[in-house]
Amino acid sequence: MKKKQKKYNQKFKIFGRKKGRKSVHNISTETFNKYLINSKTDLISKKIILDIGSGSGESTLFLSRKHPNDLIIASEIYQDGNTNLSQELYRSEINNVKIFNKNVLILFDEFKLHNLIKEIWILFPDPWPKKKHSKRRLINSSFVKKVFYLLEENGKIYIATDNSSYFISILKTFYLSELFKWDNDLPDKW
């Protein structure tokens, strides 16, 4: 079955902080820019593992060591986290990680990622627990439809949350989409 990507109308509005309260000047702009994603050179011939909301990069570093032959894209809008990650990448001489420092939805729309993504990791996304803020959640029906067309066949999405209302919302969103097969469908496997 050949998948065709559709355009979905989802706003790219960012909620929350993009920059920390303290400034970080420990890394040169040249070093930081070395790790920013370049669509012309970085997305060629490698399978991609996407780490959405990578924070300071602990999960990204783990994935880069576990999958040295894949391109790991750390998508994080928080500047201090990206700076910390690029410092650690430079120190550890890791070359299979690129940083996307904008909203991940922009990455989906601007880059040709159709069938290139092998795995997507979303660890503890902002839960937006208030009912009036739930529309700000990353994982919704539009997001699920978008990633379905970007994942390679048998691609996987790993999601972890510690917020019970968001957990139920995620389960419901994937269940209603009917696009994905839920591997660990019993609570004892969660």
Task: Write the CB contacts of 158 (distance below 8 Å, at least 6 apart in sequence).
Answer: 119, 120, 121, 122, 123
Q: Is 51 a catalytic residue?
A: no
Decide: helix, strand or coil at residue 2: coil
Task: State how far the Cα of 144 lies from the Cα of 21, in Å rounded to an integer.
Answer: 33
Where are any strands of DSSP class E within 37-175?
48-52, 71-75, 97-100, 117-123, 151-160
List b or e across 150-186, with b for residues whose CB sees 16 or more CB atoms inside 10 angstroms: bbeeebebebebebeebeebbeebbeeeeebeeeeee
Q: Which of 42, 70, 126, 188 is catalytic?
A: 126
How many Å is the Cα radius of gyration of the chain?
A: 17
Task: Write the CB contacts of 132 (distance below 8 Å, at least 6 apart in sequence).
Answer: none
Q: Residue 57: which region, alpha, beta or left (left: phi > 0; alpha: psi -120 to 50)?
A: left
Enzyme catalytic residues? 126
